[in-house]
Structure 1
Amino acid sequence: MRKNIKLTAVVAASAALALGLTACGSSSDPGAKKADGTAAADAPLIVAASPTPHADILKFVKDNLAAKAGLNLQVKEFTDYVLPNKATQDGAVGANYFQHKPYLDDFNAKNGTDIVPVVNVHLEPLGLYSSKAKKLTDITSGQTIAVPNDNTNEGRALQLLAENGLIKLKDGVGTTAKLSDITDAKGLKFKELEAATLPRALGEVDAAVINGNYALEADLKPAEDALAQEKAEGNPYANFLAVKRGNENDPRVKKLAELLNSPEVKKFIEDKYDGSVIPAFGKPAA
């Protein structure tokens, strides 16, 4: 998921998308069901996804891996972060791929939905960048670091700085950390800015914590230019395949989960996204 997610009202276009999904058929269509109500193994699995990188990754699976695995995969793109979960909940799609665990937990709590993660696929890592420092030890007391000003990304940014020894945080604050949770700033100063503006601010500060997608848009190469980056292993912000509870064992879902964690998908992600998106395979965080 790119940016801090806000549960805003869905515009009229979203309703049109929902109607389009209903019209084109879904995993809940009678023709796609067996007599016992479960989906036929050869029925299409429609997956709702954000355009980049989620739909790109799914299209790679569809074009290169799905047919051989006996999976009839269909990809439906959404540009908002509300409708994919609603479509998954009501059966208009069989699964979705666009979100991370903190967002899903919040969405389920606020909307009474019952959607669960199936398998992690990728992480869009935050990185620490500088136009002045060449290595972490070049960042010293008196310098200013810019961080995202939204709740989700600021907590992630502060955790990244703490993990790399630049600051100390209160025990147990986790990914909800705020500037007020810094117990030892080690002489550093902080500037809170809108996440999308951080690459442009690099010339005005000594370093900045930037989302992977914004780094790529600014022609930064995360794998080469980041002084430090979030790690994929155990990261709660890994994006995953998700379904309505009870559909985790759908053979089509299990097949797609295997393909999304395949060596072929790992190579595709690494080759295409230049470190702004990295594989984060495995079981989602609890």
Structure 2
Amino acid sequence: MKNAAFKLAGIALSLSLAWSASAAPLRIAADPVPHAEILNFIKKQDPSLDLQVVELTSGVNANELLANGDVDANYFQHVPYLKDQEKALGKTFAVAATVHIEPLGIYSHKHKDLKSLPEGATIAVPNNATNLSRALFLLQSKGLIKLDSKFSDPASTLATPKDIVENPHNVKILEIESPQIPRSLDDVDLAVINGNYALEAGLTPAKDALGLESAAHNPYANILVTNPQLAKDPRIKELAKDLTSPQVAEFIRQHYNGSVIPVSAPQS
């Protein structure tokens, strides 16, 4: 009888813990724009899902927050960046949803088009490995540089400035922390800026960029990431469903005018 009682108590405790987890707020670390804005839209659309949005500030590593259990998920990054972070942190995370693309763009306060780029121009690019490589692939697609032919797949090969084999304008590559690049626009000829930081700086990528990544077959879609043990949590599944819904896709299309592009939901 005692053993049966202990088993029943254990089952009751497990059910209680599971209920407590599902009833607790879902803590999501996100960049302010557009990620937190999208999550706040979901809070209005799905009030039954208790979201606690933690807006990221410069210097905070959202994957460390997730690994340490300080948040339940994060929404700010793409798969190549996540893979690089998993290696750096010695952790394995789980992708719960693929949501949108923020095309990387080339901007300038000094030049109206890429054809007017002077000899020896300075180009600011992100200094983290994945977005640095992404920026170099973008510059190559616009004919400003050429990378070694072994760098054919931006999703699986990371290029650095040392891998530039043709540089017809003798451009200088200046590596800067991604959030700081918009502030460098007055000091450089061109700047390659992530979509979220461009939006935060008041730029409209679809209108202001001198060159944008193609959205077609783009490997840099932004994702919802969680820990493997939470991947089947009903709250995570519900948020993933919301993020990939036609309603959220329509919000993204209307609110960002082509500067953020939904990838998972058909147009409603």
TM-score for both structures, normalised by structure 2: 0.73
* 1:166 partner SS: coil
* 1:104 partner SS: helix
Q: Which amino acid aligns with 2:39?
A: L
Offset from partner CA, 1:233-283 (integer Å, 9 cap, x none): 44443321122225434443222212101222123234444555x134349
Deviation at 1:131, TM superposition (A): 3.5
* 1:176 partner SS: coil
**Match for residue 206 of structure 2 among 223, 229, 243:** 223
**Match for residue 135 of structure 2 among 154, 157, 178:** 157
Give me the identity figure in percent.
Answer: 38
Residue matched to 1:182: 164
Offset from partner CA, 1:201-239 (integer Å, 9 cap, x none): 444544322233443344332111111112344444332
Deviation at 1:151, TM superposition (A): 3.3
**Match for residue 119 of structure 2 among 142, 145, 169:** 142
Show structure 2 runs of 5+ residues with no match.
1-10
Residue matched to 1:5: none
Q: Which amino acid aligns with 2:228?
A: R
Question: Is contact 1:47–1:74 with CA below 8 Å preserved after alignment?
Answer: yes
* 1:118 partner SS: strand
Deviation at 1:144, TM superposition (A): 1.3
Q: RMSD of aligned C-alpha atoms?
A: 3.5
Q: Aligned pair 1:77/2:54, yes or no?
A: yes
Show structure 1 runs of 5+ residues with no match.
1-29
* 1:34 partner SS: helix
Once residues 226 and 197 of structure 2 are traced to their aligned partners in structure 1, the CA distance between those partners, rounded to angstroms, is: 29
Offset from partner CA, 1:168-221 (integer Å, 9 cap, x none): 111233362112211111234124052455445444544322233443344332
Once residues 110 and 27 of structure 2 are traced to their aligned partners in structure 1, the CA distance between those partners, rounded to angstroms, is: 43
Point out the structure with max Rg over C-alpha. Answer: 2
Q: Which amino acid aligns with 2:97?
A: V
Once residues 22 and 211 of structure 2 are traced to their aligned partners in structure 1, the CA distance between those partners, rounded to angstroms, is: 45
Question: Is contact 2:96–2:226 with CA below 8 Å preserved after alignment?
Answer: yes
